[in-house]
Amino acid sequence: MQGEDFERYMFGKMLKIKRAYKMKLSISTWSLSNCPIHKNIEAIKEFGFENIEFNLSAINAEAGDSVYTVKRLIEEHDLNCSSVHSEGFYVERKDQIDEALFLGKKSVDFAHLLSSEYLVIHSYISARAKTDLRNYLLENIIGKLIEYADKRGVKLSLENLSRASKGYGRNVSELLNIFDIIDMGMTVDVCHSCIMLQTHTFLDAFKTLSFLDVFKDRITNIHVSNYSHKPVITMTPEINRMLTILHQNGYDGMLTIEQHPNYQGDILKTKSCIEKWIDLHI
């Protein structure tokens, strides 16, 4: 093979490699959680999504919703449930461990039944707890949940918390402390990092060896929204820099739209904005 034929062959091969490492778009069901679950899933399909993160807040037990209802709806609409967002389990004392584990295991079981690879969790372990107690809670809640999840083929992914959270894991320093104790994945919430004024700290960490050593192989998911979980109508400098550096460091996972349900009417605008970024940069 020579000349133009060889060039076309190599171009096609490079294009396939480029596409193989392309970030994928997803949406959280939380963004449509003011709809009944069947309308929620139906709208996601109509909006043109192929992947979802199922947030357990979208479940309405009083309306008869269950994991089996959700599983049927996802299968009927030919969607891939790439991740599940767990229920919260805020803890500040040892006597709350059993309840936290119960709720956590329910979330793991939900993810397992939906064939989801990842369960996104918040630490919800009190930021006010003294170091020894906090480490004990981490090991005996999240550590045991990881063991439980491993047996069910589910991986845990810790999300950085917002300013409003009382939990531990709101900034890079706290996340590094958690990862020193517990080995698990990470979900980067861009909105939370912006609100915590941590975007540049995250970016600095991502551009140094600490990213390569601690973050790079952990990141499984990116939650994308503007400040206060508003829509991304136009790409902001913070989101652009975050996505660019993640891409440059080899991230090719989900970009999950997670905007507030009050902005349901702007979902397609956010989708279009992020898709344009992907097409232009990847």
**In the chain, how many H helices and how many E strands?**
12, 8
Highest mean pLDDT of the ranges 53-67, 90-104, 212-226:
90-104
Tell me the average pLDDT across 51-60: 88
Map out the domains of the chain as residue ranges: 24-281
Position 108 confidence tier, pLDDT thresholds 50, 70, 90: very high
Rg (C-alpha) for the chain, rounded Å, is 19
Question: What pLDDT shows up at residue 8?
Answer: 42
Look up residue 252 and give its DSSP letter.
Answer: -
Token pair 């009050």 is at which residue?
Answer: 262
Which range is least confidently modeled, 60-64, 91-95, 249-253? 60-64
Pairing relation of β-strands 80-85 and 51-55?
A: parallel
pTM for the whole structure: 0.86
Percent helix, strand, coil in the chain, to 5, is: 55, 15, 30
Residues 274-280 have a mean pLDDT of 91
Structure tokens, 23 = 């970030």
Q: What is the pLDDT of residue 64?
A: 64
24-281 folds as: TIM Barrel (3.20.20)
More confident residue, 107 or 214: 107
